[in-house]
Every structure is written in structure tokens, then in C-alpha cells.
């Protein structure tokens, strides 16, 4: 009896796991972040463009800002570059870049060739800061309120539609004191 019950139970367990895990209606951009509503992890890293300059999100306390995680090795990061440049031109909030697991010279070349939408670009060569932020990969974009709390996380390439639909309303709410 047990020799039949165990394989059937295992099969049913896997079937349930696959049914929920491979759900085509699941939005991959909605991976929950344990940081939502919590203080943004602090960092203090050298700037990609000027290694003598320190980029620290502690300096942004009191401001709503966006943290965009990217790398020159990331194809989707290249896809989002034009959208980030357009968003930066709007001047709604500072966009801080976090260059993740990259090489400084390649990142500098990227910003020179493709344009630089960032107020500052922190250089996270070993990826420790990204890990503290709960980054799965690049690109990922976080929205932080004026109290320094993470209020939204978007996984994938930024688009004008995502900016308008997901970020702008949350920015307006954060500026009014909501989250």
C-alpha cells in the first residue's frame, strides 16, 4: 500500500506546485519585496564617474527618489535606457543608479555613449549593496519616499507606460505624506 501511496502523493504535490508556479496569469513584475514599507538599506559607495566622490542614499533623506539597478552586461538595461533618459528630463525625482556587478570603465563608456539619466551612480562592484536591497537581477527599480522607506519595487525594464501608471501616482502620494 505505502509503495503506491508515496509516489501518488509526490506526484500530486508536484502537480500543485507546477500549477501555481507556472501560472501564465502571474505577473512576474509583482514579486513581493520584504522591503516594502521598511527603511531603504543605506549605502555609501564610490561614484562610477568620479571614484573620489561618494554616493550615499543617506543624503537623500527627506526626498522621494528612484534607485535604478543596472549593469552593462544587462540587455534589458540597454532597452530601458531611452525611457530613463526621458524620465530624467521630466525632473520629477532624482534617479540614482546602482551599477551592479560591473566594471567601472565599461559603465563609464556606457553612460558616455548611451546617455546618463542619473543624478548619481553608485558603483556596486561586488553586488553586496544590491543583495541588501533584495535584487534578483537587473534591471530593477525602487521608489523610496521622503522618510527613506521603500514604497515600490519594479522588476524589468522601465517604460514610459510603467513610469506613468506605477511610479507617478505613488510619487504624488508620497509627496502628500501617504505611502
**pLDDT tens-digit readout, 64-86:** 999 999 999 999 999 999 999 99
Q: Which of 35-39, 47-51, 85-89 has the lowest mean pLDDT?
A: 35-39
**Cis peptide leading into 100, omega within 30 of 0?**
no
- 95 vs 163: CA distance, rounded Å: 12
Closest to 50 measured CA to CA, from 127, 111, 95, 94: 111
**Range(s) of the domain holding residue 158:** 26-175
Residue 10 confidence (pLDDT) above 80: no
Residue 95 lies in a domain: yes
Residue 138 lies in a domain: yes
Residue 34 confidence (pLDDT) above 90: no
| CATH number, domain containing residue 47 | 3.40.30.10
Residue 28 confidence (pLDDT) above 90: no
Vertex 135, ends 148 and 152: CA angle to 5°?
45
Give me the number of domains the chain comprises: 1
Residue 18 lies in a domain: no
pTM of the model: 0.83
pLDDT of 30 reads: 55
Residue 16 lies in a domain: no
Amino acid at each position: 500500500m505505502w509503495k503506491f501511496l508515496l509516489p501518488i502523493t509526490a506526484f500530486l504535490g508536484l502537480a500543485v506546485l507546477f500549477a501555481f508556479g507556472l501560472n501564465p496569469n502571474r505577473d512576474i513584475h509583482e514579486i513581493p519585496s520584504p522591503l516594502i514599507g521598511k527603511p531603504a538599506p543605506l549605502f555609501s559607495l564610490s561614484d562610477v564617474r568620479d571614484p573620489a566622490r561618494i554616493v550615499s542614499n543617506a543624503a537623500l533623506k527627506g526626498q522621494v527618489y528612484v534607485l535604478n539597478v543596472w549593469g552593462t552586461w544587462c540587455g534589458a538595461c540597454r532597452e530601458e535606457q531611452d525611457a530613463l533618459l526621458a524620465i530624467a528630463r521630466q525632473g520629477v525625482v532624482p534617479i540614482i543608479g546602482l551599477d551592479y556587478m560591473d566594471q567601472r570603465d565599461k559603465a563609464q563608456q556606457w553612460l558616455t555613449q548611451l546617455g546618463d539619466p542619473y543624478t548619481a551612480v553608485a558603483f556596486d562592484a561586488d553586488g553586496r549593496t544590491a543583495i541588501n536591497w533584495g535584487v534578483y537581477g537587473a534591471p530593477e527599480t525602487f521608489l523610496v519616499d521622503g522618510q527613506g522607506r521603500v514604497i515600490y519595487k519594479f522588476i524589468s525594464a522601465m517604460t514610459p507606460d510603467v513610469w506613468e501608471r506605477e511610479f507617478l501616482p505613488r510619487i504624488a502620494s508620497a509627496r502628500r505624506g501617504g505611502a
